[in-house]
Amino acid sequence: MTGQERRAQVLAVAEQEFAVAGLHGVSTETIAHRAGITQAYVFRLFGTKKQLFLACVDAAFERMTLAMLGAGGASGLEALTAMGREYDAMLADRTTLLLQLQGTTAAAAGDPEVRDAVRASFGRLWQAVADTAGLDPVAIKAFLAFGMLLNTGAALELAEVDEGWARQARTRIQPGLFNHITTETNQ
Amino acid sequence: MTGQERRAQVLAVAEQEFAVAGLHGVSTETIAHRAGITQAYVFRLFGTKKQLFLACVDAAFERMTLAMLGAGGASGLEALTAMGREYDAMLADRTTLLLQLQGTTAAAAGDPEVRDAVRASFGRLWQAVADTAGLDPVAIKAFLAFGMLLNTGAALELAEVDEGWARQARTRIQPGLFNHITTETNQ
DNA sequence: CAGCTAAGTTAGTAGGTAGTAACTAGAAAC
DNA sequence: GTTTCTAGTTACTACCTACTAACTTAGCTG
């Protein structure tokens, strides 16, 4: 296997592990074993555990950002509707959603390297949504806020909770909502 | 110092540590040392590290829930406005916000004990907001979604970021927004 | 003062942790 | 046909980890 192929494979394994367990919740040994290599080689490929973690988080935000940019073409509300569909499709990809969450919480630890990297990723995502939709800042903010709630839902596995509040957390929001937000906040 | 006093003190220290570093990001030794006792005594007081962590997360959600319930009295939109003020005041209490985030991400690991506890806490918070405001489910959902975004902002320390998107993430949302949401989703 | 209880410590176990240095097998290059 | 590069391993260090059992000290009570 070439270096690039191996790197991609290790990254894929690491993403799954970090997504559920977080930076300190899984060992490099576990990741290496699942990838079928020795732990020492993981360090050869990625330098430090933190760098591997950040590569995973970055990839997750990048996937989400590209999905949002890919929903462009149409403008304004239509673009937001398309992005909503994209975000909804992302619900199936639990790893991506959880990595955003894990990156965000890891950023709270105060390590500037982690914090700055996650900030930058989040900023790019925000900017992508804002540029693609071109709507009122409040509508963009609302859109991303619902995104954060979906991430929470993924972590708590609300899909399998049969209670009133959990069902309400699951209901798809109507795209028209953001149109009303835009209209009302600009009146 | 009595057992109860010591318990409360250890809990306070543990909350601060877990809030920034998460369940696996801080050792019981560190917490014990900061509380001025031996590590062994922490286990005598709380049984396991996980139980101590869950006690911290529980306390954070409980504080938030009580703050929301305390904003009641008025009904409907006025209650939501008051709750918004409460949530905004909570921004000063970074520990509480981050513990919600840490609890949520820890729940992703698949441990049923953690997941069920955090689910229950989150459900109680949701129910408290819903009962106090008594508004449309979509408005409640939007309110809590913005809450999740504030938690994210706390983790990334967006308050000190001087970029367009970060400034938009900081802007207070107008309470009237939720009224429009209620009106529009019920039309 | 004897006995009990509550608060707390000492000293350990058993295993995991990130990270490093030195080595090796095979293929490609000149 | 030797050299050089690439993918990968072995073997290790130094230390941290949650958790336990047995002991101690001080105050309260009969």
Q: Quote the pLDDT of residue B86.
A: 86
Cα angle, residue A124 at apex, residues A146 and B159 outer, rounded to 5°: 75
Q: Which two tokens stand for residue B8?
A: 């409360």
pLDDT at A100 over 70: yes
How far out from the chain centre does Cα A161 lie? 22
Tell me which nucleotides of strand C come within 7 A of a protein CB. 6-12, 16-22
Question: Residue A2, CA: closest nucleotide via C1'?
Answer: D7
Q: Quote the pLDDT of residue A178.
A: 80
How many other CB atoms are found less than 10 A from the CB of residue A187?
Answer: 7
Distance of alpha carbon A48 from alpha carbon B50, whole angstroms: 27
pLDDT at A81 over 80: yes
Q: Quote the pLDDT of residue A76.
A: 73
Task: Give me the tens of pLDDT residue by residue for chain B, a chain 187 residues long.
Answer: 888 899 999 999 999 999 999 999 999 999 999 999 999 999 999 999 999 999 999 999 999 999 999 887 777 778 888 888 888 889 999 999 999 999 999 999 999 999 999 999 999 999 999 999 888 899 999 999 999 999 999 999 999 999 999 999 999 888 778 877 777 666 5
What residues in B contact A145, CB-CB < 8 Å? 142, 145-146, 148-149
Q: Quote the pLDDT of residue A86.
A: 86
Q: Provide, rounded to the nearest whole percent, the portion of chain A with pLDDT above 70.
A: 98
Distance of alpha carbon B150 from alpha carbon A98, whole angstroms: 18
Nearest to B127 among A119, A165, A174 (CB): A165
Distance of alpha carbon A60 from alpha carbon B1, whole angstroms: 48
Considering only alpha carbons, which residue of chain A is nearest residue B126? A165
Q: Quote the pLDDT of residue A59.
A: 97
Cβ within 8 Å of residue A149, ≥6 positions away: A169, B141, B144, B145, B148
Helices (H), A22-75: 28-35, 39-46, 49-70
A172 to chain B, minimum CA–CA distance in Å? Answer: 10
Buried/exposed B92-126: b ≥16 CB within 10 Å, e otherwise? ebbbbbbbbbbbbbbbbbeeeebbebbbebbbbbb
Length of chain A: 187
How far out from the chain centre does Cα A3 lie? 26
Length of chain B: 187
pLDDT at A121 over 70: yes
pLDDT at A175 over 90: no
Say whether the CB atom of A43 is under 7 angstroms from strand C: yes
Lowest mean pLDDT among A10-14, A48-52, A170-174, A182-186: A182-186
Say whether the CB atom of A187 is under 7 angstroms from strand D: no
Q: Quote the pLDDT of residue B177.
A: 81
Q: Quote the pLDDT of residue B187.
A: 54
Nearest to A24 among B25, B118, B130 (CB): B25
Show me where the domains of chain A are located.
Answer: 54-185
pLDDT at A8 over 70: yes
Q: Do A148 and B144 touch (CB under 8 A)?
A: no
Residue B137's Cβ-count burial label (10 Å; 0-12, 13-18, 19+) is middle
Nearest to A145 among B101, B102, B148 (CB): B148
Tokens 């990156």 found at? A103
Chain-wide mean pLDDT for chain A? Answer: 92
Q: Quote the pLDDT of residue A87.
A: 85
Q: Quote the pLDDT of residue A186.
A: 63
What residues in B contact A97, CB-CB < 8 Å? none
B167: number of CA atoms within 13 Å, CB side? 3
Residue B39's Cβ-count burial label (10 Å; 0-12, 13-18, 19+) is middle
What residues in B contact A152, CB-CB < 8 Å? 104, 122, 148
- Asked if residue A144 lies in contact with residue A126, where contact means CB atoms within 8 angstroms, the answer is yes
Q: Do B107 and A151 touch (CB under 8 A)?
A: no
Question: Residue B2, CA: closest nucleotide via C1'?
Answer: C7
pLDDT at A73 over 60: yes
Q: Quote the pLDDT of residue B141.
A: 95
What residues in A contact B101, CB-CB < 8 Å? 101, 104-105, 108
Note the pLDDT tens digit of each residue in B10-38.
Answer: 999 999 999 999 999 999 999 999 999 99
Q: Quote the pLDDT of residue B83.
A: 87
Nearest to A20 among B110, B123, B145 (CB): B110
What residues in A contact B118, CB-CB < 8 Å? 156
- Residue B107: what are its φ and ψ, rounded to 5°? -65, -20
Say whether the CB atom of A30 is under 7 angstroms from strand C: yes
Q: Do B119 and A148 touch (CB under 8 A)?
A: no
Which one of A23, A57, A105, A180 would you mutate to disrupt binding with B, by most B Cβ within 10 Å of its Cβ?
Answer: A105
Say whether the CB atom of B43 is under 7 angstroms from strand D: yes
